[in-house]
Amino acid sequence: MIRRNVLLALFLALCSAGVYSQNTLGFKLPDNVNRVNIPFESYNNLLVIPVILNGVLPLKFVLDTGVRTTILTEKAFSDILNLNYEKHIVVSGIGGEKLVDAYITNGVSLELPGMKGEGHTMLVLDKDYIELSNYLGTQVHGILGYEIFSRVIVKINFTKKTLSLIKPEKFKKKRKFRSVPITIEDTKPYINVQITQRDGKRTPMKLMIDSGASHGLLLESTADSTVVVPDNTITSNIGRGLGGDLIGQIARVNKLELGEFEFNEVIATYPDPNSYMDSLKMGSTFRHGTLGGGVLSRFTVIFDYSSEMLYLKKNAAYKKPFEYNMSGIVIKATGKNLRRFKIEEVREGSSAMKAGIQAGDFILSVNHNSVDRLPLQQVIGMFNARANKTLRVELEREGKLVFKKFKLERQI
């Protein structure tokens, strides 16, 4: 599982501001078009799609079932268009301690290839607090969610990297897809699953489906007594929210049952409640946790909000084992073209830490292969190839060259 679970949303802030537009016209397919297919980019199990803001500015947004209202991650982009801000709000960060500024603008148009939406409300962050581009390794400017899912059937083909948007009245499920009931509560999709934890107990749990998170399974120990954090865990930085990093425990559950589908030895994330508060995807609906891209990406997925149904078909990744960051390092893309790779963090007890790799080091080459022309995802892949693989890395540390050698290893 990728360390940077993008736990993003500001729905509660919009509700408290009381400015969610009641006159939103929303997305609509043209009258003579029943379906459009949109290529998407995939990073850390997240979908990135092209969006044109107000008919002028081409941007890229993460498609996220966990958000109600469109989010623009940096005010500089909306300033270019001279958008009017209806309200300035202040949102608490991690543990409610750090405050971040945001603005609300109405009447925004959002255009995808083949489909356009008018009259949207958009929340604009004053600065790029979340650093999506740096941790995905590509330019990303915002998050888009419920406005799309509520209007059309959304089919995600992770193998072909194609997003299909279909008019509900023209949709017909194909025989190979399996139906799994969901509920739409507070604009978000929820699903009932069975989880067998390390103590052997098979427990029914309610999860929010979160396409904007790269993890497979996240369980909240504060939900109720049924969520038990196993004894065998590692402490890690599990994501980034407003105002900082999110800390938690990483472990495995014995089994996850999703309709008729079963997964064994699934990596589960247990966030520290004190650092999880600023995600704001929690909302008012009870849940035991979230189901993220680490599981969704093993299927072709169809979201049908109007019928409250999820349709799933296995893809080639279905049987892929669940793994978690075998090097122990977190890499951040920096520089003008996001091609300079900084080690942001080294996990305690990891093979990289034992080898003497330090936060602040810059990666120059891996096994004698220069990384200066590679995308971040390929570099991350080198550091998570397979257990027991030996890596020889060339690093820059305070202007000097440093060479280290270590083996990838499973800590969990």
Q: What's residue 121's pLDDT?
A: 94
Q: What's residue 94's pLDDT?
A: 54
Res. 411: pLDDT tops 70: yes
Question: Using 50, 70 and 90 to split pLDDT, how confident is the model at 283?
Answer: low
SS3 for the chain is: CCCCECCCCCHHHHHHHCCCCCCCCEEECCCCCCEEEEECEEECCEEEEEEEECCCEEEEEEECCCCCCEEECCHHHHHHCCCCCCEEEEEECHHHCCEEEEEEEEEEEEEECCEEEEEEEEEEECCCCCCHHHHHCCCCCEEECHHHHCCCEEEEECCCCEEEEECHHHCCCCCCCEEEECEEECCEEEEEEEEECCCCCEEEEEEEECCCCCCCEEECCCCCCCCCCCCCCEEEEEEEECCEEEEEEEEEEEEEEECCEEEEEEEEEEECHHHHHHHCCCCCCCCCEEECHHHHCCEEEEEECCCCEEEEEECCCCCCCCCCCCCCEEEEEECCCCCEEEEEEECCCCHHHHCCCCCCCEEEEECCEECCCCCHHHHHHHCCCCCCCEEEEEEEECCEEEEEEEECCCCC
Question: Using 50, 70 and 90 to split pLDDT, how confident is the model at 385?
Answer: confident
Res. 398: pLDDT tops 80: yes
Q: What is the pLDDT of residues 142-169, one digit of tens each?
A: 999 999 999 999 999 999 999 999 999 9
- Record the tokens describing residue 232, joined without a space: 């065998």
Res. 182: pLDDT tops 90: yes
- Mean pLDDT value of segment 370-393: 94
Q: Which amino acid is at 382?
A: M
Its pTM stands at 0.91
Q: What is the pLDDT of residues 95-138, one digit of tens each?
A: 555 678 899 999 999 999 999 999 999 999 999 988 999 999 99
Contact 170, 34 (CB under 8 A): yes
Q: What's residue 186's pLDDT?
A: 93
- Rounded CA-CA distance 331/390 in Å is 18
Task: Tell me the C-alpha to C-alpha distance, in Å, between residue 358 and each of 303, 330, 342, 348.
Answer: 43, 11, 10, 11
Tell me how many degrees the CA angle 94-125-344 measures, rounded to the nearest 5: 55
Q: What is the pLDDT of residues 2-24, one digit of tens each?
A: 333 433 434 444 443 444 444 44
Residue, of 368 and 6, whose pLDDT is higher: 368
Question: Using 50, 70 and 90 to split pLDDT, how confident is the model at 279?
Answer: very low
Q: What's residue 96's pLDDT?
A: 54
What is the bridge-based pairing of β-strands 153-157 and 202-209? unpaired
Res. 238: pLDDT tops 70: yes
Domains located in the chain, CATH noted? 11-169 (2.40.70.10), 170-314 (2.40.70.10), 329-407 (2.30.42.10)
Q: What's residue 311's pLDDT?
A: 98
Question: Using 50, 70 and 90 to split pLDDT, how confident is the model at 92?
Answer: low
- Record the tokens describing residue 348, joined without a space: 């305690």
Res. 265: pLDDT tops 90: yes
Contact 41, 376 (CB under 8 A): no
Q: Which of 32, 104, 109 is nearest to 75 (CA)?
A: 104
Question: Using 50, 70 and 90 to split pLDDT, how confident is the model at 323?
Answer: very high
- Record the tokens describing residue 352, joined without a space: 């990289």
Give the range among 148-162, 196-210, 228-242, 375-389 with minimum mean pLDDT.
Answer: 228-242
Residue, of 383 and 94, whose pLDDT is higher: 383
- Mean pLDDT value of segment 240-251: 80
Res. 304: pLDDT tops 80: yes
Average pLDDT of the chain is 89
Residue, of 217 and 18, whose pLDDT is higher: 217
Res. 305: pLDDT tops 60: yes
